[in-house]
């Protein structure tokens, strides 16, 4: 590791020197000489020198994804800095900055979403649909031993507790995955849970669903593929995929999960439409969560989750389809990431609340 850091330092300096050489080359040309003519106290004070430099020199420097990758990789290795959108914890561990920051107006956003959850539960109940709610706690909150005292705002630390305080009055069928969590349960270089975390959450959901709606009657078997390397979404956000072998962190080792569903009836028979829907975020699309859920429930589940769906994107899209789209549905599993609670409300969320404000 020490040798890698020495190499990283050398390459970082080389990148800096390369950048200075590029700027010097541009300054030696006609455009550069025109910029230097503006180098005076008056040009500095009025900003004309900086404007000319940005327009004629800096903007003319060649863009290089490889060079940018080396700079970002060296910065991570030397300073443990993963950029504006990602936070570096213990060696090899990355976290989404959004999980750690305070959001202006976050408390009001959370309160509004609690009210909206009550509206959604009532809306589905009128349609004869049971709702099960699965909040996904922040990775930084669930894996404190891997964050190495990463700074987290008080709003971020307390938002799930603030949600529970409000949600308790709504009497939701809510899943708590924090107790006995199989640490770490999350991928090192990705926002999402790993196979063990996804399977644990699926088992917790299944226990509540069986209590509400009985046992499933479909045979579902799971198969796990071989281990393979996969750079996580946080590595991509931090621009660390190109230089992982030099600077780290190493990509995650993952296994793909598949589910085999033994549907009843012959080839020409019409199988009944599944009556259970999963409407969640990217967590429901990763690490075999849907497959583990179907196995734990022993029933087929329709996937309606959306990457980037946040708190309610997938569920509101489902409700927008109208009564006919939900006609065969008896149960909806609503998954969402805790970090979405304090974010500003989306246009779809505001519209839904306005429509149902007087229900």
CB-neighbour burial class of residue 303 (10 A; exposed 0-12, middle 13-18, buried 19+): middle
Per DSSP, 307 falls in state T
pLDDT at 192 over 60: yes
Using DSSP's 3-state secondary structure scheme, residue 306 falls into coil
Q: What does the pLDDT read at residue 71? A: 86
Tokens encoding 158: 């307390």
Whole-number average pLDDT of the chain: 86
Identify which has the larger pLDDT, 263 or 216: 216
Q: Considering the entire predicted model, what is its pTM?
A: 0.82
Residue 324: pLDDT over 90: no
**Helix intervals (H) in the chain:** 2-27, 30-36, 41-46, 48-53, 65-79, 106-126, 139-142, 144-147, 154-167, 195-213, 233-237, 244-247, 289-297, 313-320, 347-355
Question: Is residue 21 predicted with pLDDT exceeding 90?
Answer: no
Residue 77: HSE in the Cβ half-sphere, 13 Å Cα cutoff:
27
The string of pLDDT tens digits covering residues 79-134 is: 999 999 999 999 999 999 999 999 999 999 999 999 999 999 999 999 999 999 99
Cβ-contact 316, 325 below 8 angstroms: no
Q: How far is CA 3 from CA 6, 80, 239, 246, 278, in A?
A: 5, 16, 22, 10, 48
pLDDT tens by residue, 263-316: 765 544 556 789 999 999 999 999 999 999 999 999 999 999 999 999 999 999
pLDDT band at 150 (very low <50, low <70, confident <90, very high): very high
Query: 1 or 312: which carries more pLDDT confidence?
Result: 312
Q: Give mean pLDDT, residues 27-37.
A: 50
Higher pLDDT, 26 or 332: 332
| Interatomic CA distance for residues 230 and 258, integer angstroms | 17
The pLDDT assigned to 357 comes to 86
Which DSSP string corresponds to 179-246?
A: TT--SS-B-SSSSSB-HHHHHHHHHHHHHHHHHHH----SEEEEEE---EEE--HHHHHTT-STTHHH
Instruction: Name every residue whose Cβ is closer than 8 Å to that of residue 154 and which is 6 or more positions away in sequence.
Output: 102
Q: Residue 50: what pLDDT? A: 47
- On the question of pLDDT at 53 being above 50, the answer is no
Whole-number pLDDT of residue 62: 53
Beta bridge partners of 134: 335
Q: Tens digits of per-residue pLDDT, 154-177?
A: 999 999 999 999 999 999 999 999
Cβ atoms of 206 and 296 within 8 Å: the answer is yes
Q: Does position 46 have pLDDT exceeding 50, yes or no? A: no
């Amino acid at each position: 590791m020490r040798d890698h850091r020495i190499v990283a330092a050398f390459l970082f300096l080389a990148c800096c020197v390369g950048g200075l050489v590029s700027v010097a080359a541009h300054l030696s040309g006609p455009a550069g000489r025109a910029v230097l003519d503006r180098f005076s106290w008056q040009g500095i004070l009025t900003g004309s020198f900086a404007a000319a430099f940005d327009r004629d020199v800096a903007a003319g420097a060649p863009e290089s994804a490889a060079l940018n990758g080396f700079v970002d990789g060296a910065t991570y290795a030397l300073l443990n800095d993963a950029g504006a959108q990602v936070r570096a914890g213990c060696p090899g561990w990355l976290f989404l900055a959004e999980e750690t920051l305070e959001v202006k107006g976050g408390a009001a956003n959370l309160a509004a979403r609690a009210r909206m959850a009550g509206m959604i539960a009532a809306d589905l109940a009128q349609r004869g649909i049971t709702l099960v709610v699965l909040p996904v706690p922040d990775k930084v909150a669930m894996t404190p031993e891997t964050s190495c005292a990463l700074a987290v705002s008080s709003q971020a630390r307390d938002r799930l507790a603030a949600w529970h305080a409000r949600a308790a009055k709504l009497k939701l069928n809510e899943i708590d995955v924090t107790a006995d969590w199989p640490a770490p349960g999350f991928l090192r270089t990705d926002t999402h849970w790993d196979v063990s975390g996804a399977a644990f959450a699926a088992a917790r959901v299944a226990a509540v669903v069986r209590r509400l709606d009985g046992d499933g009657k479909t045979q579902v078997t799971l198969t796990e593929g071989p281990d393979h390397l996969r750079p996580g979404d946080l590595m991509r956000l931090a621009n660390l995929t190109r230089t992982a072998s030099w600077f780290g962190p190493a990509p995650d080792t993952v296994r793909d999960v598949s589910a085999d569903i033994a549907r009843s009836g012959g080839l020409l028979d019409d199988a009944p439409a599944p009556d259970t829907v999963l409407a969640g975020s990217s967590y429901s699309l990763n690490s075999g969560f849907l497959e583990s859920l179907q196995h734990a429930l022993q029933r087929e589940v329709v996937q309606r989750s959306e990457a980037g769906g946040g708190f309610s994107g997938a569920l509101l899209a489902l409700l927008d389809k109208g009564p006919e789209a939900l006609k065969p549905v008896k149960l909806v599993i609503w998954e969402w990431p805790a970090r979405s609670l304090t974010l500003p409300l989306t246009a779809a969320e505001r519209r839904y609340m306005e429509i149902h404000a007087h229900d």
